[in-house]
Amino acid sequence: MSFGPDGNLYVANDPLINPNVLRFQGPSGPTPGAFLDTFVPAGSGGLLTPLWAIFGPDGNHDGMFDLYVSDGRFDGNSLTGKRGTVKRYDGVTGAFIDTIVPEGSGGLKRPSMLTFTRTDPVTLAYLGGDRRTAASLPAQTLIQPLGAEAARPFLTEALTRWQATGADPSSLRGIDLRIADLGGATLGLASGHTSWLAANAAGRGWFVDRTPAEDSGFLMPGNQGEQNRMDLLSVLEHEVGHLLGHDHDEGGVMQETLDAGTRRTVDPHNLAVMDRVDAVFALLGQDTDGPWNSGGLLGFVRKQR
């Protein structure tokens, strides 16, 4: 069994009686553990003996992770013969995509546990794709889930700021924003045309101000730095950057980790400027984890907490 990117629990069911993959409501839902549906029915794609189900890379390029199921191929009264396979199913609909590892490949007989290089060994969540993580986790988790409607104005602002850098607007259309329990320190994740946000910002809660188009709210009394929360705008700008093809960088908005109480934003005039400024501060031996705001030196003012 494993948890999917939607926060629900996926279980490879009894291979002897009813071989399928079931879906149950995850711990963040209103009725945790409640049966939702049969995600992969018996026989789908030739499925006979599901022994393990885990989410992994996007195989059909729809922007969503897919479900990989090891099939031990139960025949008669025992699991015998070189008939084991690994099958791939659509991570949203459960529809069969393909058999990614065919029968007998490399001497495969009875595949059971599966994992990927970027699978979290504790939660079994797939951490591939492009994501941003919190630099640290809080001592006490703040349970204040984010709603998609509350996040959409910040996605709009993130898109606006990237377009101001000269990003092709056509490549920014149709981004699917989803809220999920991403687990661990993961704040956001991008793949294809989909961006996920962690429901509770890795336990710290999100900083959501009333003026996403202005950075002034970030510095007001009771601001994000004082609240010690994760900046929603910074994470969405980071994930949109990945959707535009930008990789992680050592500084600026594309830095892989983000500290609580920190804003990092794209330069509306020149994206490369931000990275050069970070490099200057690094050479000076200064702390580069402070918030960044528009204005000032090279388009940015560096604020100390």
Whether 73 and 158 share a structural domain: no
Number of folded domains that form the chain: 2
Return the residue matching tokens 């996403």: 212
Whether 182 and 273 share a structural domain: yes
Query: What is the spatial distance between Cα 299 and Cα 234, in angstroms, rounded to a whole number?
Result: 16
Whether 249 and 196 share a structural domain: yes
Residue 226 lies in a domain: yes
Are 84 and 111 contacting, i.e. CB atoms less than 8 angstroms apart?
yes
Residue 120 lies in a domain: no
Q: How confident is the model at residue 36 (pLDDT cuts 50, 70, 90)?
A: very high
Whether 184 and 226 share a structural domain: yes
Q: 23: which strand partners?
A: 10, 37
| Span 151-168, pLDDT tens digits | 889 998 999 899 888 888
| Span 58-83, pLDDT tens digits | 877 766 789 999 998 665 555 555 57
Cβ-in-10-Å burial (0-12, 13-18, 19+) of 48 comes to middle
Residues 6+ apart with CB under 8 A from 1: 9, 10, 11, 12, 53
Q: How confident is the model at residue 278 (pLDDT cuts 50, 70, 90)?
A: very low
Residue 230 lies in a domain: yes
Are 92 and 64 contacting, i.e. CB atoms less than 8 angstroms apart?
yes
Any idea which of 102-106, 162-166, 250-254 has the lowest mean pLDDT? 250-254
Whether 139 and 222 share a structural domain: yes
Residue 53 lies in a domain: yes
Tell me which residue of 135, 152, 303 sits closest to 218, measured CA to CA. Answer: 303
Q: How confident is the model at residue 131 (pLDDT cuts 50, 70, 90)?
A: low
Whether 77 and 182 share a structural domain: no
Give the CA distances from residue 158 to residues 20, 140, 162, 243, 289, in Å, rounded to whole numbers and listed in that order: 41, 29, 6, 12, 20
Cβ-in-10-Å burial (0-12, 13-18, 19+) of 123 comes to middle
User: Tokens representing 41?
Assistant: 């029915």
Whether 290 and 182 share a structural domain: yes
Residue 85 lies in a domain: yes
Any idea which of 47-56, 171-180, 286-295 has the lowest mean pLDDT? 286-295
SS3 235: helix
Residue 125 lies in a domain: no
Final residue in a domain of this structure, among 45, 72, 107: 107
Is 138's pLDDT higher than 80? no
Task: Classify residue 89 by its DSSP letter.
Answer: E
Strands 66-71 and 50-56: antiparallel
Final residue in a domain of this structure, among 107, 138, 165: 107
Residue 161 lies in a domain: yes
Residue 268 lies in a domain: yes
User: Tokens representing 183?
Assistant: 């687990």
Residue 167 sits in a domain of what CATH number?
A: 3.40.390
Tell me which of 197 and 185 has the higher pLDDT: 197
Whether 77 and 134 share a structural domain: no
User: Tokens representing 46?
Assistant: 């030739």
Residue range of the domain that includes 56: 2-107
Whether 57 and 176 share a structural domain: no
